[in-house]
Structure 1
Amino acid sequence: MENISVKYFTKAEFNTEEPYRLLFQLRNNRFKYNQIFTTLSENASDVGFKGFGRMFKAFTEERADKGVVIDNITKFEGQEMELKTGEWIADDFGVRRCNDRNGEDIACVHPIMPVERLVNIDTGIEKLKIAFRKGNTWRKEIYDRRTLASANNILDLANNGVAVTSENSRYLVRYIHDIENLNYDIIPQKSSVGRLGWINDGFSPYIKDLIFDGENNFKKIFNAIKTKGSFDEWLKVARDVRATNSPARIVLAASFASVLVKVLGKLNFMVHLWGSTETGKTLSLFLASSVWANPGEDGFIQTFNGTQVGIELLEGFLNNLPLIMDEFQLVKDKKMFENTVYMICEGIGRLRGKKTGGLQDTPTWKNCTLTSGESPITNNSSGGGAVNRIIEMECKTKLFHNAPEVADIVRRNYGHAGKAFVLLLNNDFAKSMAMKLYKEFYDSLRGDSTEKQTMAAAMILTADTLATKWIFTDDNPLKVEDIEQYLHSKESVDVCARGYEYLKDMLAVNQYKFFEPGKAPISEYWGTVSGGKINIIKSIYEKICNEGGYDPKAIASWMKQRSYTETSEDREYKRVSINGSKKWCVCIKETR
């Protein structure tokens, strides 16, 4: 552009339009604009005119009211689209605008612009994908509108490398707001999701053009769910495992079954491998993980080294895919972990309030959780609900004949089977076939096992039958007897029945602490033996139950209902004369 001659204005002339019109005409030529702006600012200062910047801003606003558009555009090298910026100058030197103090408001010292608007298909919440460049590399990050709308919250962008401080944060907020509204029809809008699993008529992450907008903590797991390597190589290994009676094949089938839980409308369940080291428990989880994702170091397999809140958030994110956790021995308080088992199998997180009032979104999920460790999750004192929800399999021998080869192959080949399975399942005919198979297996399994155990086993058998037909084509599905041996019986699930057996064991070991009426008691006694009954002093009975992890009142009621005890009419206990005084006792019939 040719040189422009700029006259020297008097103080009075700065109250006319002439100097501002000259500057306004150069608004799209940043270099000449800055030259003339500096010259006129110095001129105004020399003649004692204050407020040059304020007057120019008023002039531009007046032109905007008259339909004279300030048509600045983004001029970033390597930008993926050109956006209108209004009064903002946006080029490789950053983003700024003129202010009324003869200076500039700097929003950012490097290129930055919104490039995509994301609408979450679960919540309807909008987010913006922001592109920014420092040096020669463009980066993109997704942010909540709440973050981008506040001068304080937008400082979080600094964590990703955006040059925002408390000094320029309010200008950056204004710039992003302005540029989005000026280009609402230009900035593309896409659907997004913050979780995995079934979504309307599709399955995340296999829905085309669906973008992940969830927590950065989960991005690593999301990105691990992909296909890699040879499907045939993976199939060969999986078929070899399926040809054995190893519990690993049940874990493999349970991985497929996870996506059936919602389709069939059934309850969540857990499958747990336990036993000594070097049996192949972790490798079994690797194989199950490779159905969907990279089983290596990318984070799909978790450990028990975390909190209940962390597990809750992971379950909500995975949603219908299996949560896979290794190393149960890392759990310090195994009794308290029962609460986590209930939460996992109920499929809903804890209700929490917001600092600003109201309730946070509560995570929900419908899936299977696969775990392993050196010991069972449940024990004799575990609640019946916890025992009922877990299929536990002890690994007494090695689960794989060629463990190193299996590990190597599933690390290099993964993700094909799960994707194919859900794509083949995602139609009405396949879903009705799954429901029919489930009912057949459920009826075949109904026997001594509980309803919840039967339900879980039927889902595993259904998934394995479908996978045999669609994926493995080896005519070698799991049979009812393959899994039936691992199911808990109704009696073993009943915590009161287990508590009663524990009580009888304790009485047998300590029978010398009971004496017959009329005989001298020993120094420490628990009660008497008379008339075919064992009379245990109530406080002693409660101590025995509590030390074993059982509820004494529940067991006393359970025994009364089955006429295992003699009681007062309205109580679970009976007053018995012991050593000259009446005491409340639990009176167990010896024949029981």
Structure 2
Amino acid sequence: MISAKAELVKNYFDYESATKETFLSNEPYIYLYQIDDPFQRTIELQHLKEKGKELGVNNVQTLWESFEKSMKTVIPVSNDLITDFDGQEMDLKTTWECKDNGIYKDGDIACYHPIMPIERIVNVDTGLEKIKLAYKPNHNWRTVIVEKSILSSNHKVQQLADYGISVSSETARHLVSFLQEVEAKNYEQIKTTKAVSRLGWIGKTNEFMPYSENIQYDGDVAFERFFNSVHEKGDRELWINTIRSIQRLHVACRIVISASFLSPLMEKLGILPAFVHLWASKSSTGKTLLLMAGASVWADPDPGTFIQSFNTTAVASERIAGTANSLPVFMDELQLARNQWGNLNFDVYKLSQGYGKGRGTKSGGIDRMETWKNMFITSGESPIVGESAGQGAFARVIEVELEKIIFDFEQGNKISNILRNNYGFGGEIFIKEIKNRSDEAINRHYSEKVQELKNVRQDLQDKQLMIGGGLLVASEMIDECLFQDTDYGVLTAEELAPFLVTRESTAVELRALDLIKSWIASNSNRFETDAIPSQLGFIENQYTFVVRSELNKLLKDNGFSDRSVLSGLAQRNLIISEQRGRSGVVRNSVRRTMNGQQIEMVAIKNDFIQEEF
């Protein structure tokens, strides 16, 4: 077989018409190459050398050797066969004999039934590849997607037996060899598909899952139900009219719906993950139904599908947040997160960081860390952050107390049935609306809304301003593209501001000071000499002196950090600090004599506690 680079000529050479240019082309050497008899080829080469010399070409021998070498390298010798399975999706090249009764080569067997790679799946977040295998263990083709590392290991490939694939310790190495070869030989023919293991924005592209046709799910099977719950069902107009009517009922409804739509905007606006928490000490106020309304924007709102329970672990919460990624996370019944002593086993601050905990793998590496940038919309019978929570936790939560029933029984049942059968119509429309606007325009709109909130109340905490501004932007955007109900359905700065906390109210030291004041007032008799059972301190001049160890115990028992609280009080000049030793270390306590002993005490200005006595 002659290379395509060399055109065949007749099996003779015209010496009479040959010129110097002829010898510098491939024509004489093709003629020579086609002579099969070695003796005749040697004689003819001598004739060519003599003729070439006459024409001034003295290196015919060198030109021939070079031509002969190039022909040996460009002429492929292929032993490829084609897979010949009945009903196969495509024809693939291989050196193995592939028939319906198995895959064989040189007496070795790779598999006793048809099997072939038909798709390569690349995770755009991790870069990890998987292979989709088609196989026919009986009369029907089946498919399975497996990690590529499994198909590269003689030991791991035996795991395919769990899917009904014929593989054993004896055939494993031949199956690995066959699958590796088939993929390599047919790399271009086997299609490559992008995949992600989460919802939301994809990298720096404008793609958003699950609304991208070019990307498929490649996540944990345990979260596939959650992922697949994001879809449309039912009557679009009925859903729009229902949500429009819900928003008109109460400001809490407008906050929840706006929070649901805010979630995919948060990354563009630079807002860290945040919470909107609905709570009411009474039951049947409409908390769960409001969560269903917010969830119905994107997905099936039936509790247990897109709406999650607080009855879960910290790891599972991270995994759900990472899978939702840019979409909101809904969690119902906060009380389920309390332990047997009534303490809350749920950390708002950790989830609001936007990334999970680093964890090792069995192989000694580091597991992929989950990340997210979204809203958490939750409900329960009590606030989600306690009085002892840090400033960061308070700043990231908007608490909405439902003081009265929003939906009566009949109305609630009707809305619940509608939402269970009509949902998912807000998501894709809103994502298209975001894509149609420039990031600059969205951020300009956001800056205007933040300023509106500042105009209503100047002392709002910064992170609360950011969350609030985002809610106002989302509310106006969805009104334009979906609800057209400006007079009744749009959230305003005036009605939102009362739910936002101020800089002072998030300060942990001031919340601790309220506890200290109440404690001193209830134990006022123990701030006198010879108090029973023991003296806690004393009042002198403008200060109340409290035994440091007793105050530390009070703070720790109530979940506060004593060092953090005292540092904050010292910075506000509410307690006395003093320098000690040669190093001049500043301590937020003083030494005073009580009952004849020198004791470490905290001196609190009476102006801030006297009112409690």
Both proteins in one fold, TM over 0.5: yes
1:68-79 equivalence runs, <5 A: 69-77=79-87, 79=88
Deviations 1:507-546 (A, max 9, x none): 0000011115xxx444422122232432212211211222
CA distance in 2, matches of 1:316, 1:567: 45
Q: Judging changes above 3 Å, is the alpha-carbon distance between structure 1 residues 164 and 522 closer, same or farther for their aligned structure 2 residues? A: same
- Alignment deviations for residues 292-349 of structure 1 (CA, whole Å, 9 cap, x no partner): 11223672221122222222222222211112222221213586746x3223211122
Output the CA distance in 1 between the equivalents of 2:505 and 2:303.
Answer: 38
Deviation at 1:137, TM superposition (A): 4.3
For 1:202 and 1:534, how far apart are their aligned partners in 2?
62
Aligned partner of 1:105 in structure 2 is: 109
Partner of 2:604: 588
1:487 pairs with 2:500? yes
Conserved in 1, the CA contact under 8 Å of 2:251 and 2:495? no
Residue matched to 1:400: 407
Q: Output aligned runs, 1:510-529, within 5 Å.
A: 510-515=523-528, 520-529=530-539
Mark the CA change 1:449 to 1:192 in structure 2 (over 3 Å): closer, same or farther.
same
1:239-388 aligned within 5 A: 239-275=244-280, 276-296=282-302, 299-332=305-338, 337=345, 340-356=347-363, 359-388=366-395
User: Residue 12 of structure 1 corresponds to which residue in structure 2?
Assistant: none
User: What is the match of residue 509 of structure 1?
Assistant: 522
Matched, 1:575 2:586: no
The match for 2:149 is 146
Q: What is the CA–CA distance in structure 2 between the aligned matches of 1:585 and 1:144, rounded to whole Å?
A: 63
For residue 73 of structure 1, report the CA deviation from its aligned partner.
1.6
Within-5 A mapping of 1:90-239: 90-91=99-100, 93=101, 95-100=102-107, 104-107=108-111, 109-199=112-202, 200-239=205-244
Residues 234 and 410, structure 1, Cα contact 8 Å, conserved in 2: yes
Contact 1:88 1:175 in 2 (8 A): no
CA separation in 2, counterparts of 1:550 and 1:400?
38
Q: Is the 8 A contact 2:103 2:113 kept in 1?
A: no
Matched to 2:541, the amino acid is G
1:498 aligned residue (499, 511, 517):
511
For 1:380 and 1:347, how far apart are their aligned partners in 2? Answer: 23
Residues 88 and 376 (structure 1 numbering): CA distance in 2 closer, same or farther, change over 3 Å? Answer: farther
- Give the deviation of 1:135 after TM superposition: 4.5
- Matched to 1:118, the amino acid is I
Unmatched 5+ stretches in structure 2: 1-74, 580-585, 609-613
Say if 2:542 and 2:606, in contact at 8 Å, map to a contact too: yes
1:246 Cα deviation (Å)? 4.5
- Letter in structure 1 aligned against 2:506: V
Amino acid in structure 2 at the alignment position of 1:350: K
Superposition deviation, residue 425 in structure 1: 0.9
Paired residues of 2:131 and 2:148 also in contact (CA < 8 A): yes
Work out the CA distance in 2 between the residues paired with 1:255 and 1:232: 19
CA contact (8 A) 1:74 1:85 kept: no
Name the CA shift for 1:281/1:494 in 2 (closer, same or farther; >3 Å). same
Alpha-carbon displacement from aligned partner over 1:157-176 (angstroms, at most 9, x marks no partner): 34444344444433332222
- Does the CA-based 8 Å contact 1:421-1:470 persist in structure 2? yes
Q: Tell whether 2:446 aligns with 1:438.
A: yes
Name structure 1 gaps, 5 residues minimum: 1-64
Q: Paired residue for 1:57?
A: none
Q: In the alignment, is residue 550 of structure 1 matched against residue 560 of structure 2? A: yes
* Cα distance in structure 1, aligned partners of 2:212 and 2:569: 56
2:467 corresponds to which residue?
A: 456
**1:297/1:381 CA distance change after superposition, 3 Å:** closer
Partner of 1:539: 549
Aligned-partner SS, 1:74: coil
> Does the aligned pair in 1 maintain the 2:256–2:276 contact within 8 Å?
yes
Distance (whole Å) between structure 2 residues aligned to residue 169 and residue 482 of structure 1:
67
Partner of 1:391: 398
Structure 1 residues 36-115: aligned runs within 5 Å: 67=77, 69-77=79-87, 79-91=88-100, 93=101, 95-100=102-107, 104-107=108-111, 109-115=112-118
TM-aligned CA deviation for residue 241 of structure 1: 0.6
Residues 243-265 of structure 1 show CA distances to partners (whole Å, capped at 9, x for unaligned) of: 12141331111010000001212
Cα contact 1:116–1:188 (8 A) shared by 2: yes
Tell whether the 8 Å contact from 1:335 to 1:382 is kept in structure 2 after alignment: no
Q: Matched residue of 1:270: which SS?
A: strand
Alignment-derived partner of residue 572 in structure 2: 562
Cα deviation code 1:209-255 (max 9, x no counterpart): 22222222222222221112111010111000111214133111101
2:43 aligns to what? none
Paired residues of 1:321 and 1:368 also in contact (CA < 8 A): yes
1:246–1:399 contact (8 Å) kept in structure 2: no
SS of 1:535 mapped into structure 2: strand
Deviation at 1:146, TM superposition (A): 0.9
- Aligned pair partner of 1:427 in 431, 436, 451: 436
How far apart are the structure 1 equivalents of 2:97 and 2:338? 57
| 8 Å Cα contact 2:256/2:377 also seen in 1 | yes
- Which whole-Å deviations, capped at 9, do the CAs of 1:407-461 have from their partners, x for residues lacking one? 11111111121111001211343x3332122111111222222111111111111
Counterparts of 1:327 and 1:579, CA distance in 2: 51
Residue 437 of structure 1 aligns with an amino acid whose one-letter code is H
**AA in 1 matched with 2:284:** E
- Where 2:505 maps in the other structure, the secondary structure is helix
Q: Report the counterpart of residue 22 of structure 1 in structure 2.
A: none
Does 504-513 or 531-540 show the bigger shift? 531-540
1:474 is matched with 485
TM-score scaled to structure 1, two decimals? 0.82
Given residue 125 of structure 1, which amino acid in structure 2 is its aligned partner? L
- Cα distance in structure 1, aligned partners of 2:298 and 2:565: 45
> Matched residue pairs, number?
516
Residue aligned with 2:426, SS: helix
If you compute each CA radius of gyration, which structure gives the higher value, 1 or 2? 2
Distance 1:325 1:75, change over 3 A: same
Matching residue's letter, 1:586: V
Deviations 1:1-27 (A, max 9, x none): xxxxxxxxxxxxxxxxxxxxxxxxxxx
Identity in percent:
34
Q: Is the 8 A contact 1:388 1:452 kept in 2?
A: yes
Residue 366 of structure 1 aligns to a residue in which SS?
A: coil
In the alignment, the residues of structure 1 paired with residue 329 and residue 169 of structure 2 have an alpha-carbon distance, to the nearest angstrom, of: 41
Q: CA deviation at 1:590?
A: 1.9
Aligned residues: CA RMSD: 2.4
Contact kept in structure 1, 2:335 and 2:381, CA below 8 Å: yes
